[in-house]
Amino acid sequence: MPLDRVPPAWRMPEGVNVSLWEYLHTPRLAVEEDAYFAGHPLFEADARILDSRLDVPGRLVDLGCGAGRHALRFAARGFPVVAVDLSRSMLETVLRKADDMGVRLLTTRANLCRLGCFPDATFDLALSMFSTLGMIRGRAARRRALGEACRILRPGGRLVLHVHNLWLNLRDPQGRIWLMGQLARAIRGHSELGDRRMTYRGIPGMEVHLYRLGEIRRELGRAGFRVEEVIPLEDVSYRVIERPRLLPGIRAGGWILFARKPG
């Protein structure tokens, strides 16, 4: 659908606002993604962490795959992979790159809040990286996305996700100003604590939800997961933080969490 035909709010996909709709329907973002993020330290860090812990091939779903950096790498390692995104352009890019690499995977265009295209207990592993969960607008929609991830995993299956840390803003003067205003708005019921609006890749009004560590633990538990490992990452370098028990809620720029569906 052309950008000049943005649907009214009542027809917008769940968890999507106008800015995210524009992001999903801007083909250049898919074409430029690899060059735009080339050398990004988080991309290098999360790849090392995933590769060191996910060494037994299993059915893997990449939820919010973008241009396919994880989906393609795991497909090349012999994992049966399904790459899921709401952006048609991103999925076309994934398939083109897979063809260039000579690897096989499947793609599915779907809303992460509504994964009825997959039966229960379909996958062994699910990824939701680079704050994909935080890009979903609204707590209820994010909860549904986590619930859907749990549903489509087999008993004993694992979810790996990355989220950004809300309290990191305490370390920056402008961040503290924003945080105080955000707290006031949340108290008045005008926004959810942790929702930050920004211009991202040239698109104004993009929103990302910044989590507190206790919050994301509770949300995973609510969805049916048991958190097994929390890896705190530094803000700029995204190196794994040494001595993570020292002020973990403030020092981390974000976390990679490994959670398991009981069974």
Residues sharing a CB contact under 8 Å with residue 46, sequence separation 6 or more, in sequence order? 70, 129, 130, 162, 238, 256
> Comparing 3-12, 184-193, 220-229, 230-239, which segment has the lowest mean pLDDT?
3-12
- Asked if the model's pLDDT at residue 49 lies above 90, the reply is yes
Is pLDDT of 1 > 50? no
Is residue 213 within 8 Å of 165, Cβ to Cβ?
A: yes
| CA pair distance 240, 146, nearest whole angstrom | 25
- Condensed to tens digits (0 to 9), the pLDDT of residues 6-43 reads 898 889 999 999 999 999 999 999 999 999 999 999 99
Question: What pLDDT is recorded for position 39?
Answer: 93
Cβ neighbours of 146 (radius 10 Å)? 25
**Terminal Cα-to-Cα distance of the chain (whole angstroms):** 42
* Third-level CATH fold of 3-166+206-260: Rossmann fold (3.40.50)
